[in-house]
Structure 1
Amino acid sequence: MKLTTVKVDNEELAAILFGQKVILIRDINEIAGANWSENILSILQNGQFSQINSWYKRVGNKEIIEMNRLVLESVTFAPLYRHPEKIWGVGMNYIDKAIELSGKPPEEEPVIFMKPNSSLIGPEDDILLPYQSTQITAEAELAIIIGKTCKNVEEADVPGVVAGFTTSLDMTAKDIHAKNPRYIQRAKSFDTFFSFGPYLTTIDEVKDVRRISVETKLNGEVYHSNTVSNMMYSPWWIVSFFSRIMTLHPGDVIMTGTPGSVLISDGDVVESLVEGIGKLRNYSCK
């Protein structure tokens, strides 16, 4: 199942992707006699995610055919949701990228950082280039969406606490970070420096996460590409690692690292392509 959020009459409403169309949760509630939230974050926080997924797999495909469906090309996507409790990122997680940047073997533990909610945007939104920096980079990443409150989770048990995956773009003020590695948090925290969506893809839709490819594109050209199998820290290991630091809650987002970044300038189009998960596109402007 793929969940998404679309804009309808100035509202941001949760929906399910069905082929080349989307069906609002609002319409599903009427047909299924349910009372599920119309906001994806609330769906996750209220424990409704597994209910909707079970309905979709059990009877959804048959009933959806009879529902009012919006043509995919006609909808405007919003961010998957607003105001997640936590947005975390992992730096230099692909082996060759880490060696390229540091010139030495990978560290025993990952570099991590946070993104503020004010940095969050969605598909097709503008990345605002701040005046404080002249070198802004964008990085495509596979992102993990937490589905259940959890703490100290064993790596083997992580799939049971994850709702699914999405595409993301992580922006950085490269010149600020280059002045001093300790400035990484400031370099990552400007408004519009985190984009995610348009789809939350459930983990049961992904046969083998290690085979997923991640691409960073700039103005239609692929600049970097790699597969999850080449990560130093696997997605399940990353969730386990974070859960040993803090309690994770439904809707928390964890970016898993990038195959490579691109410098973006005014008017550029940057994309994150994650195989089987989706394509995310944003525009940069001053």
Structure 2
Amino acid sequence: MKLATLKIKDKETAAIARDDGLVLMETLNEVDKKNWNTSLLEMIESGQIDGLKEWYKNGGKERLHDCETIPFEKAKFAPLYRRPRKIWGVGMNYLQERPNKNETYLSPVSFMKPDTSIIGMEDTIQIPTGSTNTTAEAELGIIIGKKCVHIEEEDASQYVLGFTTVLDMTEADIHAENQRYLTRAKSFDTFLSFGPYLLIDEYEEVLDLEVSTVLNGRLEHQNVVANMRYNPWYLVAFHSKVMTLLPGDIIMTGTPGSVVIRDGDVVEAHISGAPPLVNRVRGEKMNEVN
């Protein structure tokens, strides 16, 4: 099941994908006499997604074909949502081969980003004034579905709602000046793009997914989730022991590699089996970010 948030005139509203387009939740409510929330974050926070999953598996997928759709090529995607309670990032997580189970690694390198950094599919990444070394990196994003605290790795999948595609930006010169400046380097407006889809029950084995950073149509970096030092389930458990994780929280899992982005570039994040996340880059200051 794939969920999204679309821009419809002056509002942003949740939608569900079918093979040939997207159905707005408000349309589904009218046709199928349901009362699903039309805000994706509110659906997640209220626990409605569990009911939607059951509906989808038990004939709902077919009933979507009774609904008016928005063709994919006409859809204008928003970020999945704009106000998650927490956004965690993880650095230096990929190896060139599967991690050695007999080797002890240092704890994950974690940082947080503000929700004011969020943009969505086809929005513009704004390079900060004076920056000559802004980077972008593709990542697999984890979306938390249930409140969890002090859980273990083997239980983590029960608390994960799904996955999404992420582009994480960094002003690398600020970070290079002092490693303690990482949060500032990653917190500029437009420095986190995520979506276009929340992918729920789409993958039998997350470790098999390939994550790729693409710049101007060229594949620059690619790796497989199985090569992470710390797999997604470990990262959820680890961060649940730092602070309570809540529905809608995002955990970015690290990147196979970053690229320097400049005015006019198009940068993409790819995850196996999912549509790419695509953003253009602008170097001069804008008055307003879409």
Q: TM-score, normalised by structure 2?
A: 0.93
Q: For the residues of structure 1 that align with 2:148 and 2:191, how far apart are their CA atoms?
A: 27
The one-letter amino acid paired with 2:275 is: G
Aligned residue number for residue 272 of structure 1: 269
| SS of structure 2 residue aligned to 1:163 | strand
Aligned residue number for residue 233 of structure 1: 230
1:153 Cα offset (Å):
1.4
Aligned residue number for residue 100 of structure 1: none
The one-letter amino acid paired with 1:220 is: G
The question of whether the paired residues in 1 share the 8 Å contact of 2:31 and 2:66 is answered with no
Give deviations 1:42-94, integer Å, cap 9, x for gaps. 00001101111111111112211111111111111110011111011000100
Structure 1 runs of 4+ off > 6 angstroms?
Answer: none
The question of whether the paired residues in 1 share the 8 Å contact of 2:93 and 2:253 is answered with yes
Aligned-residue RMSD, C-alpha = 1.4
Aligned residue number for residue 102 of structure 1: none
- Structure 2: runs of 5 or more not aligned: 98-102, 284-290
The one-letter amino acid paired with 1:208 is: E
Q: For the residues of structure 2 that align with 1:11 and 1:150, how far apart are their CA atoms?
A: 31
Does 1:252 pair with 2:249? Answer: yes
Q: For the residues of structure 1 that align with 2:136 and 2:20, how far apart are their CA atoms?
A: 28
The one-letter amino acid paired with 1:76 is: K
Does 1:87 pair with 2:87? Answer: yes
Pick from 236, 239, 242 the counterpart of residue 239 of structure 2: 242
Count residues with an aligned counterpart: 278
Give deviations 1:128-172, integer Å, cap 9, x for gaps. 110152200000000000011111111111111111000000000
Aligned residue number for residue 134 of structure 1: 132
For residues 100-115 of structure 1, the aligned pairs below 5 Å read 107-115=105-113
1:262 Cα offset (Å):
0.2
Aligned residue number for residue 78 of structure 2: 78
Q: For the residues of structure 2 that align with 1:252 and 1:210, how far apart are their CA atoms?
A: 21
| SS of structure 2 residue aligned to 1:278 | coil
For residues 1-286 of structure 1, the aligned pairs below 5 Å read 1-96=1-96, 107-202=105-200, 204-286=201-283
Q: For the residues of structure 2 that align with 1:283 and 1:7, how far apart are their CA atoms?
A: 18
| SS of structure 1 residue aligned to 2:66 | coil
The one-letter amino acid paired with 1:224 is: H
Aligned residue number for residue 288 of structure 2: none
- Identity %, equivalent residues: 51
Give deviations 1:187-225, integer Å, cap 9, x for gaps. 1111110000000001x2211001000000000000000
Q: For the residues of structure 1 that align with 2:172 and 2:215, how far apart are their CA atoms?
A: 17
Q: For the residues of structure 1 that align with 2:211 and 2:66, how far apart are their CA atoms?
A: 35
